[in-house]
């Protein structure tokens, strides 16, 4: 069955399987409006690898303030409220690694890591980024965040409850 699905359809199925955003209103619901808001914050908030057959890797990162990061980590605000708290034009000190979705045949090749590092480097050109935070849904997501923090020198903060 998976062979007959396009990469895009496989990516959507993977997002739904891992994050199950439709049944969790506290999570960010990515739609055209959210994509537009993200792009206004910084062009590197969204990254994609397309293997010629559609997307094989999607990365979503949200630059925020430390204050917003702390409010999210302590449960004062939900993931879905991160964008509401983040204003275009403000200085960002933290990056939220929202999601890194990778089709199985592209995992463990360093490609998601490369996309994340490129996005962070771009954001750092115009923002004093000092922290990375994540709400990992998989052990691979946690490992990716740990590796990113180690390679970039960013302090890593992990939201633990799901």
Closest CA to 90 of 57, 68, 110, 59: 68
> Predicted confidence band at 21 (pLDDT cuts at 50, 70, 90)?
low
Rounded Cα–Cα distance for residues 48 and 106 (Å): 12
Enumerate domains of the chain plus CATH numbers: 2-158 (3.40.630.30)
pLDDT tens for 52-86 read: 999 999 999 999 999 999 999 999 999 989 998 99
Q: What is the DSSP secondary structure assignment for residue 44, as one 8-state letter?
A: T
pLDDT tens for 26-60 read: 777 788 888 899 999 999 999 999 999 999 999 99
What's the pTM? 0.90
Please, are residues 145 and 136 in contact by the beta-carbon 8 Å criterion? yes
């Amino acid at each position: 069955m998976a062979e007959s699905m396009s990469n895009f359809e496989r990516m959507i199925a993977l997002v739904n399987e891992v994050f199950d955003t439709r049944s969790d209103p506290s999570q960010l619901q990515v739609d055209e409006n959210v994509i537009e808001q993200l792009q206004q914050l910084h062009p590197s908030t969204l990254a994609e690898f397309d293997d010629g057959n559609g997307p094989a890797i999607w990365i979503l990162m949200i630059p925020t303030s430390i204050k917003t990061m702390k409010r999210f980590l302590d449960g004062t605000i939900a993931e879905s409220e991160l964008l509401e708290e983040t204003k275009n034009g403000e200085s960002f000190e933290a990056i939220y690694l929202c999601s890194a979705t990778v089709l199985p045949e592209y995992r463990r090749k360093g490609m998601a890591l490369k996309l994340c590092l490129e996005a962070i480097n771009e954001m750092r050109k115009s923002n004093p980024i000092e922290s990375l935070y994540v709400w990992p849904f998989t052990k691979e997501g946690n490992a990716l965040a740990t590796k990113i923090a180690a390679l970039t020198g960013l302090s890593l903060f992990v939201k633990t409850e799901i």
